[in-house]
Amino acid sequence: QVQLQESGPGLVKPSQTLTLRCTVSGGSISSGDFYWSWIRQPPGKSLEWIGFIYPDGTTVYNPSLKSRAYISVDTSKNQFSLKLNSLTAADTALYYCARNSPQLPDNWFDPWGQGTLVTVSS
């Protein structure tokens, strides 16, 4: 079965750019009609969808991120990545990668990675 694993720095300074990577195993990122998402969860709070990418590079982002997010895919490595710039303390969160169901726009997310905690602090 498909599994996802996030990786990246645990601590980033304000105003810097965060780069996270999600490695997909147990299946090809290019197979099927799946999209691949990033979702975050500030400590003690709810979930926020950041955006998704299709294996051909097509992306859709949450407008709330005000164009700070950029998602890319490397099908040769079975990975997709998130860059988030102009970081502030409000970006401190658990960051998850997840697979979208093919149906858009009211897709669901399954499975999820285990999440990686990112703290924005000087």
Partner 1 sequence: QSVLTQPPSVSGAPGQRVTISCTGSNSNIGVGYNVHWYQQVPGTAPKLLIYAITNRPSGVPDRFSGSKSGTSASLAITGLQAEDEADYYCQSYDTSLSASVFGGGTKLTVL
Exposed e or buried b for every residue in 41-58, given b needs 16+ CB within 10 A? eeeeeeeebbbbbbbeee
Q: How far is the CB of 86 from partner 1 (least distance, A)?
A: 20
Torsions phi, psi of 109, nearest 5?
Answer: -115, 120
Under rule CB under 8 A, residue 86 binds partner 1? no
Under rule CB under 8 A, residue 70 binds partner 1? no
Under rule CB under 8 A, residue 75 binds partner 1? no
Under rule CB under 8 A, residue 95 binds partner 1? no
Among 9, 57, 58, 110, binds partner 1 (CB under 8 A): 110
Under rule CB under 8 A, residue 69 binds partner 1? no
Establish whether the linkage from the previous residue to 105 is cis, with ω within 30° of 0: yes
Provide the 8-state DSSP code for 29: T
Q: How far is the CB of 100 from partner 1 (least distance, A)?
A: 9
Determine the straight-line distance between the first and last CA of the chain, rounded to whole angstroms. Answer: 40
Distance CA 120, CA 60 (A): 25
| Interacting positions 44-63 with partner 1 (CB under 8 A) | 46-49, 62-63
Under rule CB under 8 A, residue 71 binds partner 1? no
Summarize as ranges the residues that interact with partner 1 (CB under 8 A).
46-49, 62-64, 96, 101, 103, 105-115
